[in-house]
């Protein structure tokens, strides 16, 4: 599973989310992650097995891409959208950790 935590854009990247008391936002399994990459929603440069961050700007671009591709009702996109909506509501980026 790829676990996502809320992290402010100006916060340093911790080695473990518990070190900064980051709030868990949700997760994606590998099938969903790769499906989102194949649909052009998640950048192919991101690796499921490597930690990565998405700042608010990246989150907004992903949301715009979802609208442009008209994939709001896609089941995989819905899972990702829940994470993105939480981040935007909290005015926060996301950091992903593979477990």
Encoded tokens for 7: 């992290």
Q: What angle do CA 10, 99, 71 make, to 5 degrees?
A: 70
Domain ranges for the chain, please list them. Answer: 2-14+23-98
How confident is the model over 61-85, as a mean pLDDT?
Answer: 97
Q: Which of 46, 44, 86, 45 is nearest to 63 (CA)?
A: 86
pLDDT above 90 for 98: no
pLDDT tens readout for residues 4-50: 999 999 998 887 766 668 999 999 999 999 999 999 999 999 999 99
Q: Across the chain, which distance is largest between two alpha carbons, in Å?
A: 38
Which residues are registered as beta bridge partners of 95?
Answer: 5, 53
CATH topology of domain 2-14+23-98: Hypothetical protein yfbM fold (3.40.1760)
Q: Which of 9, 10, 12, 17 is nearest to 98 (CA)?
A: 17
pTM: 0.91
- pLDDT the model gives residue 55: 97
Helix (H) or strand (E) holding 96: strand 93-98
pLDDT tens readout for residues 81-97: 999 999 999 999 999 99
């Amino acid at each position: 599973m790829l676990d996502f935590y809320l992290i402010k854009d100006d916060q340093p990247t911790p080695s473990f989310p518990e070190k900064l008391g980051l709030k868990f936002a949700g997760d994606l399994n590998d099938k969903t992650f790769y499906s989102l990459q194949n649909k052009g929603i998640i950048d192919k440069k991101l690796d499921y097995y490597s930690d990565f961050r998405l700042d608010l700007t990246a989150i907004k671009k992903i949301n715009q891409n979802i609208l442009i591709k008209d994939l709001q009702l896609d089941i995989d996109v819905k899972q990702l959208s829940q994470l993105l909506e939480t981040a935007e509501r909290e005015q926060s980026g996301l950091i992903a950790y593979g477990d």
